């Protein structure tokens, strides 16, 4: 059994590693991809195929101190109304390029706070999206819902538009922790939001909570997870709080000396993890949990679990298009990212062109390494037969990759004829093991703690 001193020696408590929601990761994007190439990639989508759409709303009513999202605070609706017009214009540019018969497999509204749109704006935006690309059979339409920024009228509008999965942010239910991270959201507010969502027939509920927050202890983590479990979420994302005050200035409000140590972070994660497992949730990849009936659990059991910019997904669409400032799209040819600043994005769209400012064109072993890393992050194993079948690599080259990863981790990994496996006790090291299959220079990019 692997123990903390061994994890420490292997660098778990010091390492900064990517979360691998893409490969290569966003810091390696360059200006090789611009709006014209992005437009060509849209035109190249197979007619009649399924794609996914992510709509980004970079506005919030208040700016929580812990949050490193690029988002603007606004107390009025005016910037949001103007932004929805820009989103609609961007969707029109997309419509002009999209081949015939394309439908949506997934539609996700994220941010920021998409629920600060008023009900009329929600209806208008949803109608416009579905006019450009209709929902396909069994499509999922999910929205990130801020329990502090939702009411009956807005949920009615979303339910009428076809939302069938809701995602609520929780972070932690403890009062002192909430005050310290600058986000007050009582248990009653969250419970009421969950009830209002379910009353409208939306039975798929996701929740996000954080470990590694200031003043968090195992007892407080236990209380928060138990409160969360009382809401019966179908999926839970248990993310590590990343304290990067030099990048996210708001985090300077959070006292560094109240943060748990990396060793304590591992204990907090493990405390929450055990509670989900006792409650019969399936463990999904490195940081998600889902009920046995949930689509993520089915995808895990059938080897179809995937990873994209939103984390784990059962979506099988080859193309994911991001609409809105800073959104990232993925195509079989590579990645394309819209201009991060809302002003630059708006300017480009008003001039009648996509705002694509950077991206990555897949080359060399990118697609092979992307799949090796995704397989480790999703299944904790690499199936050699699948890789040899799909990626034209030789057995000896693949084995060489396995051997060098294993050597870097005290030979903790298991290598058999079937492939490479991360044993359960070594799973805290998964992101670091995935890094050993990453051919890019990671020294320049700022990544988050491995735990």
Which stretches of 333-418 are assigned E, i.e. beta strand? 334-337, 358-361, 381-383, 414-415
CA 121, 125, 128, 134 torsion: positive or negative?
A: negative
Complex with ligand SF4: residue 146 or 314, whichever CB lies closer: 146
Do the bridges between strand 419-421 and strand 381-383 make them parallel or antiparallel, or are there none, so unpaired?
A: antiparallel
User: Least distance in Å: CB of 84 to ligand SF4?
Assistant: 17
Complex with ligand SF4: residue 67 or 268, whichever CB lies closer: 67
Q: Can you tell me the distance from the alpha carbon of 359 to that of 412, in angstroms, rounded to the nearest whole number?
A: 35
How distant, in Å, are the alpha carbons of 117, 272, 431 from that of 283?
Answer: 34, 12, 16
Q: How many CB atoms lie within 10 A of CB 90?
A: 24
User: Least distance in Å: CB of 101 to ligand SF4?
Assistant: 35
Q: Can you tell me the distance from the alpha carbon of 205 to that of 134, in angstroms, rounded to the nearest whole number?
A: 23
Q: Can you tell me the distance from the alpha carbon of 33 to that of 335, in angstroms, rounded to the nearest whole number?
A: 8
385 SS3 class: helix
Complex with ligand SF4: residue 70 or 128, whichever CB lies closer: 70
Complex with ligand SF4: residue 62 or 200, whichever CB lies closer: 62
Asked whether the beta carbons of 440 and 24 are under 8 A apart, the reply is yes
User: Least distance in Å: CB of 428 to ligand SF4?
Assistant: 26
Q: Report residue 445 as tokens.
A: 């990019």
Q: How many CB atoms lie within 10 A of CB 14?
A: 11
Residue ranges in contact with ligand SF4 by CB under 6 A = 60, 63-64, 67, 69, 71, 111-113, 146, 169, 183
User: Least distance in Å: CB of 205 to ligand SF4?
Assistant: 17
Complex with ligand SF4: residue 67 or 197, whichever CB lies closer: 67
Complex with ligand SF4: residue 50 or 338, whichever CB lies closer: 338
């Amino acid at each position: 059994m692997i123990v903390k001193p061994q994890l420490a020696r292997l660098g778990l408590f010091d390492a900064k590693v990517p979360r691998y929601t893409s490969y290569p990761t966003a810091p390696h994007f360059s200006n090789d991809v611009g709006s014209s190439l992005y437009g060509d990639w849209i035109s190249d989508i197979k007619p009649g195929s399924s794609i996914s759409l992510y709509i980004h709303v970079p506005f919030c009513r208040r700016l929580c101190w812990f949050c490193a999202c690029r988002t603007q605070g606004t107390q009025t609706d005016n910037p949001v109304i103007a932004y929805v017009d820009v989103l609609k214009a961007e969707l029109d540019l997309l419509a002009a390029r999209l081949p015939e018969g394309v439908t949506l497999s997934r539609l996700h509204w994220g941010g920021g706070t998409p629920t600060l749109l008023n009900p009329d704006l929600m209806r208008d935006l949803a109608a416009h999206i579905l006019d450009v690309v209709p929902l396909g059979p069994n499509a999922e339409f999910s929205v990130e819902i801020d329990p502090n920024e939702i009411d009956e009228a807005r949920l009615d509008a979303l339910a009428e538009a076809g939302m069938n999965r809701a995602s609520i942010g929780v972070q932690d239910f403890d009062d002192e922790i909430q005050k310290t991270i600058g986000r007050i959201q009582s248990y009653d507010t969250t419970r009421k939001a969950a009830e209002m969502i379910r009353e409208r027939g939306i039975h798929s509920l996701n929740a996000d909570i954080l470990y590694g927050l200031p003043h968090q202890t195992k007892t407080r983590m236990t209380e928060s997870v138990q409160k969360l479990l009382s809401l019966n979420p179908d999926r839970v994302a248990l993310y590590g709080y990343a304290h990067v005050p030099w990048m996210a200035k708001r985090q300077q409000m959070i006292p560094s000396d109240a943060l748990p140590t990396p060793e304590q972070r591992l204990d907090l994660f493990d405390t929450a993890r055990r509670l989900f497992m006792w409650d019969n949730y399936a463990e999904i990849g490195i940081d998600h949990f889902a009920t046995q009936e949930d689509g993520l659990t089915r995808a895990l059991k059938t080897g179809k679990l995937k990873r994209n910019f939103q984390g784990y997904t059962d979506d099988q669409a080859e193309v994911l298009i991001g609409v809105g400032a800073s959104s990232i799209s993925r195509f079989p040819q590579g990645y394309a990212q819209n201009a991060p600043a809302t002003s630059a994005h708006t300017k480009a769209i008003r001039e009648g062109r996509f705002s694509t400012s950077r991206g990555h064109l897949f080359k060399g072993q990118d697609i092979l390494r992307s799949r090796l890393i995704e397989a480790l992050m999703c299944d904790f194993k690499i199936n050699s037969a699948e890789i040899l079948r799909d990626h034209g690599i030789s057995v000896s080259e693949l084995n060489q990759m396995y051997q060098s990863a294993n050597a870097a981790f005290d030979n903790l990994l298991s290598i058999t004829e079937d492939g490479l496996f991360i044993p359960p006790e070594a799973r805290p090291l998964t992101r670091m093991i995935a890094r050993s299959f990453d051919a890019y220079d990671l020294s320049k990019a700022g990544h988050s703690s491995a735990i």
